[in-house]
């Protein structure tokens, strides 16, 4: 079946603009995660959805970042008033959900965001 998909693959925007990044998880996966990865670093957790609700948004760096998942499937990460420091690859992952043993997280190809 299809894996996690993310659009766009690349996004270049000017400082101060608003951007939306989209994630389509694997069908049937109830858990969805957003991470941000800078060059030479591991992925950094941003927010986690279980179904439609944000179960953990402790990784969002500030109130310019917001994410939604209104129908429990597709998710959109929204960044307002972008800054050059927001430039990174934004990764989305999905899994079957919480619990034990831990479910594997499957990652999408990412969206490379460049703020000029």
Partner 1 sequence: GQNIDQPTEMTATEGAIVQINCTYQTSGFNGLFWYQQHAGEAPTFLSYNVLDGLEEKGRFSSFLSRSKGYSYLLLKELQMKDSASYLCAVREGYSTLTFGKGTMLLVSP
Stretch of residues binding partner 1 (CB under 8 A), selected from 10-18, 64-72, 75-83, 99-107:
99-107
Strand partners, 36: 44, 90
- The Cα–Cα gap between 50 and 94 comes to 10
Which residues ranging from 19 to 48 are in contact with partner 1 (CB under 8 A)? 31, 33, 35, 40-45, 48
Kindly tell me which of 14 and 102 has the beta carbon lying closer to partner 1.
Answer: 102
> In this structure, are residues 32 and 23 in contact, taking their beta carbons and an 8 Å threshold?
yes
Indicate whether 106 belongs to the interface with partner 1 (CB under 8 A).
Answer: yes
Kindly tell me which of 72 and 109 has the beta carbon lying closer to partner 1.
Answer: 109
User: Which ranges constitute the DSSP H helices of the chain?
Assistant: none
Indicate whether 1 belongs to the interface with partner 1 (CB under 8 A).
Answer: no
Site string for partner 1, 65-94 (x = CB under 8 A): --------------------------x---
Least distance to partner 1 from the beta carbon of 81, Å? 26
Tell me the three state secondary structure of residue 84.
Answer: helix
Tell me the three state secondary structure of residue 85.
Answer: helix
- The Cα–Cα gap between 60 and 57 comes to 6
């Amino acid at each position: 079946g299809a894996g996690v998909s993310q659009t766009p693959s690349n996004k270049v925007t000017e400082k101060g603009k608003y951007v939306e990044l989209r994630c389509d998880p694997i069908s049937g996966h109830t858990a969805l995660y957003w991470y941000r990865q800078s060059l030479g670093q591991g992925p950094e957790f941003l927010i986690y959805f279980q179904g439609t609700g944000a179960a953990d948004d402790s990784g969002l760096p500030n109130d310019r970042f917001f994410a939604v998942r209104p129908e429990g499937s597709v998710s959109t990460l929204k960044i307002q008033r972008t800054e050059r420091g927001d430039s990174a690859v934004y990764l989305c992952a999905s899994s079957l959900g919480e619990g034990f043993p831990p479910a594997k997280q499957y990652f999408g190809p990412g969206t490379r965001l460049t703020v000029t």
